Structure 1
Amino acid sequence: MSLLCGRLCPGDVGVKGINTTQPCVKDSREIKRALIETTLKGGRAYLSQFWIERAAMSEQSNLSVVAHGPGDLRMERLPIPEPGPNEVQLQMNSVGICGSDVHYWQHGRLGSFLMQKPMVLGHEGSGTVTKVGLEVKHLQVGDRVAIEPAYPLNNDEFCKSGRYNLSPAMFCSATPPHHGQLSQFYVHSANYCFKLPDCVSSEEGAFIEPLSVAIHACRRARVKLGSKILICGAGPIGLLNLLVAKAMGAAQVVICDLSSARLAKAKEVGADFTIKVEKETPQDLAQKVQAALGSMPFTTIECTGAEFCVQAAVYSTQSGGTVLLVGHGPELVSVPLLNAAIREVDIRGMFRYCNTYPMAIAMLASKKVDVKPLITHHFPLSQAIEAFETTKKQLGIKVMLKCD
């Protein structure tokens, strides 16, 4: 590994799929020269020119994490992509590993999305702009941005009504047939890259994607000031819903899970009560929730997709309240609909997020939400295989890869 650039270069050994030829001496010299020029002359232009030069390296220097099929994950060098007129090229900084990435790696599919060819993984990312397309006006080289990975391809009725996440024609990073962000360099629509303030780190920027899921969920779940909330599941999305619900004014939040370790983390980041699910029935769990809160919750946010939890969510929620289904489980589940119907419990769904990135950035910048305790593991891009194994074994909450 080059001592100056601190990343895997041609000539390094020990990573499957990398062509090893000679050390990256030129890249090391460029980095050293750029650092000296930036320090001595203090000009943004010199740093910007440095990023441009780095983007102009050999076409086979883009280290990427590629899923080839079920159980087949490789580190490969791919061509550096060039931006179109309305796109920006990014040197990726941080990318979080999501459960969907693990699904594509382990099974080659996620629901109805089937991998037909090798695919670069990753959709929770932040990066630094290295090139801008001719039509891009609001970003420039050197800007750090958070990447909204899913956006509509047409200005259809859903876009016009402000619900572009429901558009049938969508681009989404790391969803077949589109490549994801787990590369050193990546190209994305500039309209869906959001500039990060200096007080928001690149790792926090990468967390904006799952944080947006939680913001959209709490909006759909009608979380309001003084609400009592039940959250089913203390994984990353459940914990983020806990943080956002509290930031939106929820008075008390109880969270349930099978894992004692995850419940301990929930307590650490602000849960008022935790319940370890064991062998009780859904009705028994509902009684435990009511005992903890002193009344039935107005809102239940279900983040597991498990049939047991969907049933418990309905039984737990007070009459006139809302059950929001965040977790995606089996296509068909048994739900106590009559119980929900006669008590006017609204069962609502959600998909990804919509118009959430500005709010997510504001929450992080103002410190109303702190996601840093949820980042439990850090790996360089060259150790992506180990990072994915860590995620698969559920050894932490959020595993973050550093791509730069």
Structure 2
Amino acid sequence: MQGTVWFKLSGTAFLIFTTMENIAAILHGANDLRIESVPVPEIKENEVLLSMKSVGICGSDIKYWMYGKCGKFTLEKPMVMGHEGSGKVVKVGSGVKHLKIGDRVAVEPGVPCGTCRLCKGGRYNLCQSIFFCATPPDDGNLCRLYRHSAEFCFRLPDHVTDEEGAMLEPLAVAVYSCRKGKVGLGTKLLICGAGPVGILTLMVAKQNGATTIVITDIDDTRLALAKSMGADVAIKVTTDDPSTIAANISNIIEGFPDVTIECSGTNFGFSTGIYATVPGGLLVMVGRVPGGVEFPLNLAFTKEIDITGVFRYANCYPTALDLVSKGVVDVKPLISHRFPLSETVKAFQTAASRDTKAVKVIIECDQN
């Protein structure tokens, strides 16, 4: 028997126990993703057990699946995938006061130590002891039953869907990127890359008061979506010369962007940002460039462009939830495909293929 067993007393439902088999999407190596049965986790006093609902596939997930590594992180043992998730509380630890059984929550996937200098300074995303879902060696939440620190679970209002809860993770990246880029009233902004994070960044930038937003990509479908979501100018990249794109942008907006946020994770995007950004401006690196080529860094230094990196986010989930809850940012149009947990491999294939025109792929963990 599978499922959650409930009883009712005076019209109120109470959870008795969970009989659901716990299955998870486990990566064993490059191109070796399996659906397997795993034990139901035991929670600690400050944790909750979640019945996972919606989990999104991120670009980093695809890199782990395809190559067994992403950036400086390498898969060394089997790992449960997934870090963009939402779920329903089915069990609470004795120390948890702000959540109860039945609450639906968005899961902020990073749980820092909370005691180091970086954590105490508010930059817990840089904590060297942080647990982060689906980053080796830490297991993720692409499973039916998952335990997590209650402190990093954010209760969803009734009108916010499970899918929107899962989308708070990439939205938090967008919120943090705009903060790092000091995007505000009157900002002229260039976004390189019209993937989910790039489009979410343009929506956050609009709310911050950016007056001109240019977005670039190689895909017509994503550019069209970006235009429909508020981009003032959408430019298809058809050249291998970043200075040409920069000159084109300057001609269109009659000047140079104050800020560039690079979301494509390409060497071309990084170089474009250097050429395009106004002298004295900001270049925010969200994507991770492969390297192996020369960048016009001397030009960046001569222009006094401040180049800053983004690593995940810190203190951004409340803002992301507020934006979605109040209807200020609509994340739903970005969700292009949905799959049950049993079809996770197909979901990853869809997310990785250009032919599918996928933007954000969601896996529904409570569906067979």
TM range (shorter): over 0.9
1:400 aligned partner = 362
Q: Secondary structure at the match of 1:246?
A: helix
Deviation at 1:332, TM superposition (A): 5.5
Deviation at 1:154, TM superposition (A): 4.5
Give me the whole-angstrom Cα distance separating, in 2, the residues matched to 1:180 and 1:148: 11
Give me the whole-angstrom Cα distance separating, in 2, the residues matched to 1:224 and 1:378: 34
Check if 1:205 corresponds to 2:165. yes
Amino acid of the structure 2 residue aligned with 1:84: K
Give me the whole-angstrom Cα distance separating, in 2, the residues matched to 1:73 and 1:232: 31
- Higher percent of residues as strand: 2
Q: Secondary structure at the match of 2:24?
A: strand
After superposition, residues 16-35 of structure 1 pair within 5 angstroms as 24=1, 27=3, 34=6
Q: Secondary structure at the match of 1:79?
A: coil
Give me the whole-angstrom Cα distance separating, in 1, the residues matched to 2:351 and 2:286: 20
2:297 aligned partner = 337
After superposition, residues 102-141 of structure 1 pair within 5 angstroms as 102-141=62-101
Deviation at 1:153, TM superposition (A): 2.1
Give me the whole-angstrom Cα distance separating, in 2, the residues matched to 1:111 and 1:301: 19
Structure-2 change in CA distance of 1:280 and 1:174 (3 Å): closer
Q: Secondary structure at the match of 2:96?
A: coil
Amino acid of the structure 2 residue aligned with 1:135: G
Deviation at 1:300, TM superposition (A): 0.5
Alignment TM-score, normalising by the size of structure 2? 0.95
Give me the whole-angstrom Cα distance separating, in 2, the residues matched to 1:71 and 1:335: 32
Give me the whole-angstrom Cα distance separating, in 2, the residues matched to 1:400 and 1:42: 34
2:44 aligned partner = 84
Deviation by residue 1:310-347 (Cα, 9 ceiling, x = unmatched): 11111111122111111002256522222222222111
Specify the structure having the higher radius of gyration (Cα).
1
2:256 aligned partner = 296
- Unaligned ranges ≥5, structure 2: none
1:245 aligned partner = 205
Structure-2 change in CA distance of 1:378 and 1:262 (3 Å): same
State, as a whole percentage, how many aligned pairs show the same letter: 48
Instruction: Tell me if the contact between 1:154 and 1:169 (Cα under 8 Å) persists in the aligned partners.
Output: no
Instruction: Tell me if the contact between 2:114 and 2:120 (Cα under 8 Å) persists in the aligned partners.
Output: no
After superposition, residues 43-122 of structure 1 pair within 5 angstroms as 43=12, 46=13, 48-49=14-15, 52-53=16-17, 55=18, 57=19, 61-122=21-82
Instruction: Tell me if the contact between 2:114 and 2:124 (Cα under 8 Å) persists in the aligned partners.
Output: no
Instruction: Tell me if the contact between 1:63 and 1:77 (Cα under 8 Å) persists in the aligned partners.
Output: yes
1:313 aligned partner = 273
Q: Secondary structure at the match of 1:327?
A: coil
Instruction: Tell me if the contact between 1:322 and 1:347 (Cα under 8 Å) persists in the aligned partners.
Output: yes
Check if 1:254 corresponds to 2:214. yes
Instruction: Tell me if the contact between 1:124 and 1:207 (Cα under 8 Å) persists in the aligned partners.
Output: yes
- Unaligned ranges ≥5, structure 1: 1-23
Alignment TM-score, normalising by the size of structure 1? 0.87
Segment of structure 1 superposing worse, 303-312 or 345-354:
303-312
Paired residue total:
364
Runs of 4+ aligned residues of structure 1 deviating over 4 Å after TM superposition are none
Check if 1:366 corresponds to 2:326. yes
Give me the whole-angstrom Cα distance separating, in 1, the residues matched to 2:61 and 2:203: 24
